[in-house]
């Protein structure tokens, strides 16, 4: 038995962690346990990848199988990290078409959570670059599913949080990029309305995301730094960069000490940090050429950053609000957060594009994500944020969730009942369960 938790170190559960080495071992473990769930690199924040009693660690399914340089299609086993794909293919001019905020997620995890990136408003979520996926069912049979073949299973699997079976391998499309550099434009927004206006007029930008100060109030409520990005081509690069456009010096990483004194994290330090960050960003606003690692994965440079929240761990709140109620809903959310004085260093605001899929998180509107150290007050605040989200027609990102109630999910997302119904009628329910699916009655 092993103590398992997600990236937020909350909750922690005792589970049996098994690491099958091939499909036969995988079949035996599915048949031999009352229920299982697959675990990739453990980057879901809560209990999505904790299976009680048994969790299947997919680290041995980590081989790349084929690459087609005509179409950019990569076939790989599900335990391969997106970071490994970037290391292998960016030097050859290819980059995953959709990446989340960390490169330390597995391919299987990216599919299960149907992750989205800074280009969601244009390119959609991870499923849009997914050609097919091989899923092992309760009977140990491997089923290939795609938009054409087993299309129902395909639809539910992307965003299905591993609850439709074990994702064993998949084919994804990489995009050809002109360099490893990003032309980044930082636009300061004095408040929420200004940030939304920038997003709305930047629909043609390939990438967009905003850091938002979740503790500012009054006229500056929701002040943000909106960061737009384009893949830089030779005209944007210095002669030295253009000579080897895909070469980037390996990123410097720092390690957070194993035990970070969590008293350093309080409303005063967070408020001061947010204020300083905004003004520093606003002063440096404008164009800059930055490398892919810094633009897409700024937090990856700080290994183990989850530890700054201390032993009790942290929870991330992420919701999306539909376009027509986004402005009023975001204002209510930010007011509640600011009034409680419980902001985080990194709150993220992002415009999402239209999406219609069976159980994935994104919908057209605005998504807000921020972290809270786990304590009684923050848990109460997050329940208030849940209520505001539901009142504005929004829903929640299960890859980030660690504490929601089943009723909250049902109230926010009418698709949940259909998902559970599908799991029961197709015999998936008894075999594939996570601590999260049990908590949320999925």
Partner 1 sequence: MTKSPVLILGARSDIGLAVAHAFASQGHPVQLAARRADTLGAEKTDLELRHGVPVSLHDFDALALENHEGFADALPELPGIAVCAVGYMGDQAESERTPLQAAQVLRSNFEGPASILAVLANRFEQRGSGTLVGISSVAGERGRASNYVYGAAKAGFTAFLSGLRNRLARKGVHVVTVLPGFVATQMTEGMDLPAKLTAQPEEVANAIAAAASKGRNVVYVRPVWQLIMLIIRNIPEAIFKKTSI
* CA angle (70, 73, 76) in 5-degree steps: 140
Place of tokens 């410097």: 252
17, 33, 67, 140: which one binds partner 1 (CB under 8 A): 67
Nearest distance from residue 140's CB to partner 1, in Å?
20
The two three-digit tokens of residue 368, written as one number: 């807000």
Residue 142 or 288 having the CB closest to partner 1 = 142
Nearest distance from residue 387's CB to partner 1, in Å?
41
Range list of β-strands (E), 78-234 = 94-96, 130-136, 142-146, 166-176, 181-189, 207-212, 224-231
Nearest distance from residue 262's CB to partner 1, in Å?
23
Nearest distance from residue 64's CB to partner 1, in Å?
4
Residue 8: count of CB within 10 angstroms of its CB: 25
Residue 21 or 267 having the CB closest to partner 1 = 21
C-alpha distance from residue 45 to each of 25, 39, 107, 400 (Å): 28, 12, 16, 5
Residue 81 or 135 having the CB closest to partner 1 = 81
Residues of this chain, 88-147, that bind partner 1 according to CB under 8 A: 88, 91-92
Q: Report the C-alpha gap between 151 and 13 in whole angstroms.
A: 35
Binding pattern to partner 1, positions 71-90, x when CB under 8 A? Answer: -------------x--xx--
Residues of this chain, 408-427, that bind partner 1 according to CB under 8 A: none
Indicate the pairing of strand 347-352 with strand 207-212.
antiparallel
Residues of this chain, 47-66, that bind partner 1 according to CB under 8 A: 63-66
Buried b vs exposed e over 248-272: b needs ≥16 C-beta within 10 Å?
beeeeeeeeeeebeeeebeeeebbe
Residue 258 or 414 having the CB closest to partner 1 = 258
Place of tokens 């930055």: 290
Nearest distance from residue 88's CB to partner 1, in Å?
4
Indicate the pairing of strand 254-255 with strand 302-303.
parallel
Nearest distance from residue 20's CB to partner 1, in Å?
11
Residue 64 or 265 having the CB closest to partner 1 = 64
- Residues in the interface with partner 1 (CB under 8 A) total 12
Residue 246 in contact with partner 1, rule: CB under 8 A: no
Residue 13 or 75 having the CB closest to partner 1 = 75
Q: Is the dihedral of CA 199, 201, 202, 203 positive or negative?
A: positive
CB 52 within 8 A of CB 166: no
Nearest distance from residue 252's CB to partner 1, in Å?
18
Residue 23 in contact with partner 1, rule: CB under 8 A: no
Residues in the chain: 442
12, 13, 17, 19: which one binds partner 1 (CB under 8 A): 19
Indicate the pairing of strand 365-373 with strand 36-39.
unpaired
Residue 77 or 401 having the CB closest to partner 1 = 77
Query: End-to-end CA distance of the chain, in Å?
Result: 25
21, 267, 284, 405: which one binds partner 1 (CB under 8 A): 21
Residue 25 or 233 having the CB closest to partner 1 = 25
The two three-digit tokens of residue 183, written as one number: 């032309």
What are the φ and ψ backbone dihedral angles of 344, each rounded to 5 degrees? -125, 165
Residue 88 or 411 having the CB closest to partner 1 = 88
User: What is the contact surface with partner 1 in residues (CB under 8 A)?
Assistant: 19, 21, 63-67, 84, 87-88, 91-92
């Amino acid at each position: 038995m092993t103590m398992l938790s997600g990236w937020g170190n909350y909750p922690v559960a005792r589970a049996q962690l098994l690491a099958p080495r091939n499909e036969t071992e995988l079949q035996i473990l599915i048949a031999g346990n009352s229920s299982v769930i697959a675990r990739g690199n453990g980057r879901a924040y809560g209990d999505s990848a904790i299976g009680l009693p048994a969790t299947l660690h997919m680290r041995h399914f980590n081989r790349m199988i084929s690459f087609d340089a005509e179409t950019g299609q990569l076939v790989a086993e599900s335990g391969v990290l997106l970071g490994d794909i970037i290391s292998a293919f960016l030097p050859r001019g290819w980059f995953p078409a959709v990446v989340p905020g960390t490169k330390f997620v597995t391919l299987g995890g990216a599919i299960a959570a149907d992750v989205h990136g800074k280009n969601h408003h244009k390119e959609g979520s991870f499923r849009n670059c997914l050609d097919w996926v091989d899923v092992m069912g309760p009977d140990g049979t491997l089923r290939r599913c795609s938009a054409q073949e087993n299309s129902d299973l395909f639809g539910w699997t992307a965003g299905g949080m591993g609850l439709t079976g074990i994702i064993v391998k998949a084919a994804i499309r990489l995009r050809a990029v002109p360099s490893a550099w990003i032309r980044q434009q930082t636009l300061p927004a004095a408040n929420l309305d200004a940030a939304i206006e920038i997003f709305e007029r930047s629909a043609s930008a390939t990438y967009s995301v905003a850091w938002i100060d979740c503790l500012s109030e009054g006229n500056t409520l929701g002040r943000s730094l909106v960061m737009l990005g384009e893949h830089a081509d030779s005209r944007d690069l210095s002669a030295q960069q253009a000579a080897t456009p895909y070469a980037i010096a390996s990123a410097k990483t720092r390690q957070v000490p194993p035990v970070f004194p969590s008293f350093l994290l309080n409303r005063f330090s967070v408020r001061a940090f947010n204020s300083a960050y905004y003004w520093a960003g606003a002063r440096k606003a404008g164009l800059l050429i930055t490398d892919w690692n810094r633009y897409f994965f700024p937090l990856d440079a700080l290994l183990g950053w989850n530890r700054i929240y201390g032993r009790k761990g942290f929870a991330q709140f992420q919701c999306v609000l539909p376009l027509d109620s986004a402005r009023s809903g975001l204002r209510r959310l930010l007011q509640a957060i600011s009034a409680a004085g419980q902001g985080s260093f990194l709150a993220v605001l992002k415009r999402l594009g239209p999406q219609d899929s069976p159980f994935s998180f994104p919908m057209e509107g605005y998504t807000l994500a921020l972290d809270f150290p786990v304590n009684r007050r923050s848990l109460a605040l997050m329940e208030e944020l849940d209520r505001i989200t539901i009142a504005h027609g929004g829903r929640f990102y299960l890859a980030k969730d660690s504490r929601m109630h089943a009723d909250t999910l049902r109230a926010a997302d009418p698709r949940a009942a259909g998902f559970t119904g599908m799991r029961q009628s197709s015999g998936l329910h008894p075999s594939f369960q996570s601590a999260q699916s049990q908590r949320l009655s999925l």
